[in-house]
C-alpha cells in the first residue's frame, strides 16, 4: 500500500476548519500529553506539571486527561491544582471508585483539600449524570449493534475482563478457527449496518462506539479488499466525520495500520508498532515502516506526535528498523 504526499494533502484539506485543522489541534495535544506521560513514567513529576496549562482550551482534553493532570499535580504536592482537575474529571465521568483506587493520589488524600473533594463529589458527579441523561442516542442503531454482538457471541464463549473481550479456550485449534470465522462474519455485518445507516459516532451511539470501533479495526479479514466499492463508501463516511471533528483525525490512519499488520505489510503511521500473527499473537519479528524517513510527516498530518516522542513517553526503545533513519 504505497502512500504519497497526495494522500496527506487530501487528509489535511478534509480536516481544515477555521484556520486550524483538527489534526493540528490534536497534534499539539498529543505532543504535550506525551511529554507529561514520559516524565511521569520516569518519576520526574516536577517536569510533568509544566505542560497542563498549555493545553487550556484544547478540545481534545477530556475527563481522562484532567484525571491524569490531577495525579501528576498530587505527586508534585500541588494539591489545589489536584482538586481543580479532579472536579473537571468527575464532571466528565471519572468515578469515585477510580479515584479511590489510584495510589498517585495518596498524598492528596492526606491533605485538608481532600475533604472539599469528598463534600462536592456527589454534586460534581450529578452534573455528569445530567449531561448523560440529556444525550439523545439512536436507539435503532444501538439495537442493531447489540443484535450483531448477541448473534456472534453465541458462536464462541466470550467474557468481559476490564472492558475487553476475552475468548474462552477449550480446544485451541478449534478456537482459532472459530474466532477468525466469527470475527470475519461480525465485520461483514458491521459493514452492512454502516452502509444502511451511516457511520456512527459517540454522539449517536454513546459508549457503544468504542466497542464498535474495536471490532471495525480488529476484525478486518486478511483477504478483505480495502479498495472494494463498499469499503470506499465507508472510508468516505469516515473522512466526513473526521472533517466534522466527530471522530479523531487519525481514525482512518489507525485502520490502515491494522490492515497493514494483518497482511504483514510495512506500517504507514506507526500507530501500531508490533507485528502480529492471529495464531500465535504478537511475534518477535521486527516492525517495518513504509518510507520511514517520512513517517513523522505522515503522523503529524493526522495529528500524532513524532514516533521518537511516542516511544520515549512509553519508556521504550525506538524500533530497530527506525534507529538509523533520518526523519524529515
Q: DSSP readout, 273-321?
A: -S-EETTTEE-SSPP-BSSGGGHHHHHHHTT---HHHHHHHTT-PPPGG
- Please give the Cα distance from 261 to 254 (Å, whole number): 11
Nearest alpha carbon to residue 271 among 279, 261, 282, 283: 261
d(CA 24, CA 304): 9
Largest separation between any pair of C-alpha atoms in the chain: 62
Q: Which residues contact 36 (CB under 8 A, 6 or more apart)?
A: 48, 49, 51, 52, 68, 69, 72
pLDDT value of position 14: 53
Distance CA 221, CA 234 (A): 16
Instruction: Tell me how far apart the alpha carbons of residues 104 and 71 are, in angstroms, rounded to a whole number.
Output: 6
Residue 63 phi/psi, 5-degree rounding, is -55, -40
Which helix H or strand E contains 102, and what residues bound it? none
Cell numbers for 89: 474529571
pLDDT tens for the chain, residues 1 to 328: 454 444 555 555 555 544 469 999 999 999 999 999 999 999 999 999 999 999 999 999 999 999 999 999 999 999 999 999 999 999 999 999 999 999 999 999 999 999 999 999 999 999 999 999 998 999 999 999 999 888 876 655 655 556 565 555 554 555 556 666 777 888 999 999 999 999 999 999 999 999 999 999 988 988 889 999 999 999 999 999 999 999 999 999 999 999 998 888 899 999 987 765 554 455 556 789 999 999 999 999 999 999 999 999 999 988 888 989 999 8
Q: Cβ–Cβ contacts within 10 Å for residue 51, how many?
A: 18
Terminus-to-terminus CA distance in the chain, angstroms? 21
Nearest to 50 by CA among 60, 35, 63, 31: 35
Cell, residue 132:
448523560
Q: What is the dihedral of CA 76, 303, 269, 69, to 10 degrees?
A: 20
Q: What is the pLDDT of residue 216?
A: 92
Tell me how far apart the alpha carbons of residues 140 and 197 are, in angstroms, rounded to a whole number: 10
Domain boundaries, the chain: 62-134, 139-322
pLDDT of residue 41: 96
Instruction: Determine the Cα–Cα distance for residues 103 and 222; give it in Å rounded to an integer.
Output: 42
Amino acid at each position: 500500500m504505497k502512500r504519497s504526499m497526495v494522500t496527506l494533502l487530501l487528509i489535511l484539506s478534509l480536516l481544515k476548519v477555521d484556520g486550524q485543522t483538527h489534526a493540528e489541534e490534536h497534534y499539539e495535544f498529543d505532543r504535550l500529553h506525551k511529554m507529561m506521560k514520559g516524565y511521569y513514567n520516569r518519576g520526574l513529576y516536577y517536569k510533568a506539571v509544566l505542560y497542563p496549562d498549555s493545553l487550556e482550551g484544547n478540545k481534545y482534553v477530556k475527563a481522562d486527561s484532567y484525571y491524569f493532570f490531577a495525579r501528576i499535580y498530587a505527586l508534585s504536592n500541588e494539591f489545589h491544582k489536584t482538586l481543580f482537575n479532579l472536579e473537571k474529571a468527575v464532571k466528565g465521568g471519572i468515578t469515585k471508585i477510580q479515584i479511590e483506587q489510584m495510589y498517585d493520589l495518596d498524598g492528596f488524600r492526606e491533605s485538608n483539600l481532600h475533604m472539599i473533594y469528598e463534600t462536592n463529589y456527589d454534586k460534581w458527579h450529578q452534573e455528569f449524570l445530567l449531561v448523560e441523561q440529556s444525550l439523545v442516542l439512536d436507539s435503532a442503531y444501538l439495537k442493531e449493534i447489540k443484535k450483531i454482538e448477541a448473534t456472534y457471541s453465541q458462536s464462541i464463549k466470550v467474557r468481559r475482563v476490564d472492558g475487553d473481550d476475552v475468548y474462552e479456550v477449550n480446544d485451541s485449534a478449534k478456537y482459532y478457527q472459530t474466532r477468525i470465522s466469527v470475527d470475519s462474519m461480525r465485520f461483514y455485518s458491521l459493514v452492512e449496518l454502516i452502509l444502511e445507516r451511516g457511520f456512527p459516532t459517540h454522539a449517536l451511539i454513546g459508549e457503544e462506539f468504542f466497542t464498535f470501533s474495536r471490532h471495525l479495526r480488529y476484525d478486518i479479514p486478511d483477504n478483505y479488499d480495502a479498495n472494494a466499492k463498499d469499503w470506499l463508501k465507508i472510508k468516505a463516511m469516515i473522512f466526513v466525520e473526521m472533517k466534522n471533528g466527530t471522530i479523531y483525525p487519525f481514525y482512518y490512519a489507525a485502520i490502515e495500520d491494522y490492515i497493514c499488520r494483518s497482511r504483514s505489510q510495512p506500517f504507514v503511521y506507526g500507530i501500531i508498532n508490533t507485528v502480529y500473527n492471529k495464531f500465535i499473537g504478537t511475534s518477535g519479528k521486527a516492525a517495518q515502516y513504509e518510507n520511514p524517513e517520512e513517517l513523522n510527516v505522515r503522523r503529524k498530518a493526522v495529528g500524532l506526535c513524532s514516533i521518537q516522542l511516542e516511544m520515549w513517553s512509553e519508556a521504550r526503545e525506538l524500533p530497530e528498523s527506525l534507529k538509523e533513519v533520518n526523519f524529515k
